[in-house]
Amino acid sequence: MAADTILEVQGLELAYGTRVIQRDLGFSVRRGSIFAVMGGSGCGKSTVLRSLVGLLRPAAGRVLVGGEDYWAGDAAQREAIGRRFGVLFQNGALWSSLSVAENVALPLRMFTRLDNAAIDSLVRLKLALVGMEHAAALSPSELSGGMRKRAGLARALALDPEVLFFDEPSAGLDPVTSKRLDDLILQLRDGFGQTIVLVSHELPSLLAIADDGVFLDATTRTAIAHGSPKALRDDSINPQVQAFMRRERLEQEG
């Protein structure tokens, strides 16, 4: 494993029962990069993400986090590794019984010994970074889709994770809001130097922010191309990848 690789996937096979979603999947994520897991709907992108953050045990293969085998250890070891992760779920997955501020504060309360003043201060900072300061007291059900994602992002940032995972960050957002979220992700990455792994099929967003990635295919059920979205668009000769990317080109020209 190269020194600047933070996450490496080797021979991963994912299945729900006997239904295989992806097999023989391999890729590695460089520290500080924005890595995209791409592919059409239903090819298992989100399933891959679930196996990376500890929600789905792979049927075979390994996930190495900084050289440690994530699924080899017991639950406590996985938890310790997982504490270096932040996850933004597709619809934010905010805990509905807590206010926005409490959502961000909960991980800090659970995993640090900070006093209330320090926690408040960090919560305020995280909310201000994502532009959600004014919404601290609201409950998740009172938020719009875009706000929910930003609040989820603030929560994912709560413990200053090394790796941030995003499940379809721009899904369900209008192009302007989506662009704003992309910009925010870039600014935060540049600021904190985090590694970001994102699952997406939104081409504008992929082209704008990802600098490396893997392309999954639903029929062959494995990765068919590696590289940044831009490189795949310009250089890939794989017809599947081309079809996916060409639509984007037409859209951009139109």
Partner 1 sequence: MSEANSPKVTLRQDGAHATLLLSGAWIGRSGDTPRPAEAMLPEHGTGADRATPASIGFDATRLGRWDSALIDFLWQLRRLAAGRGIGFDESGLPDASRRLLSLLDDSRPAPLPPRRGPGLLARLGGATTTALTGALNNTGELSSLLGGLTLRAGAASLGRARMRGIDLLDNLYDAGPSALLIITVVNVLVGAILAFVGVVQLRRLAADSFVANLVGLALVREMVPVMTAIIMAGRTGGAYAARIATMQGNEELDALAATGIPATDYIVLPAVLSLTAMMPVLYLYGCVVGIAGGFVVAIAMLDITPLAYIQQTRMSLPVGEFGFGLLKSFAFGLMIAVTSCRIGMKAGRSAADVGSAATSAVVVGIVGTIALDAVFAVVANAVGR
Strands (E), the chain: 5-16, 19-30, 34-38, 60-65, 68-69, 85-88, 163-167, 195-199, 212-216, 223-226
Closer residue to partner 1 (CB): 170 or 240: 170
Q: State the minimum distance, in angstroms, from the CB of residue 12 to partner 1.
A: 18
**Residue 106 one-letter amino acid:** L
CA distances from 74 to 71, 119, 139, 202 (A): 8, 30, 35, 36
What are the DSSP calls for 14-47, one per residue?
A: EEETTEEEEEEEEEEEETT-EEEEE-STTSSHHH
Q: Which of the ranges 5-13, 114-122, 211-219, 231-239 carries the binding residues for partner 1, by CB under 8 A? A: 114-122
Q: Of the two residues 68 and 95, which places its CB atom closer to partner 1 in the complex?
A: 95
3-state secondary structure of 226: strand
Member of 13, 120, 211, 248 binding partner 1 (CB under 8 A): 120
Give yes or no for residue 123 binding partner 1 (CB under 8 A).
yes
Q: Is residue 116 close enough to count as binding partner 1 by CB under 8 A? A: yes
CA distance 222 to 238: 14
Decide if residue 177 touches partner 1 (CB under 8 A): no
The rounded distance, in Å, linking the Cα atoms of 94 and 90 is 10
42 binds partner 1 (CB under 8 A): no
Examine residue 129 and tell whether it contacts partner 1 (CB under 8 A): yes
Of 112 and 220, CB closest to partner 1: 112
208: helix, coil or strand? helix
Interacting positions 79-98 with partner 1 (CB under 8 A): 79, 82-83, 85, 87, 89-91, 93-98
Residue 113 touching partner 1 (CB under 8 A): yes
- Residue count, binding to partner 1 (CB under 8 A): 60
Using rule CB under 8 A, residue 137 touches partner 1 = yes
Query: Is the Cβ of residue 65 or residue 122 nearer to partner 1 in the bound state?
Result: 122
| One of 4, 68, 160, 251 touching partner 1 (CB under 8 A) | 160
Q: Tokens standing for 208?
A: 């704008």
For 172, the token pair is: 């369900």
Distance CA 237, CA 28 (A): 22
Binding site for partner 1 (CB under 8 A): 50, 53-55, 79, 82-83, 85, 87, 89-91, 93-99, 101-102, 105-116, 118, 120-126, 128-129, 131, 133-134, 136-137, 139, 155, 157, 159-160, 184, 187-188, 190-193
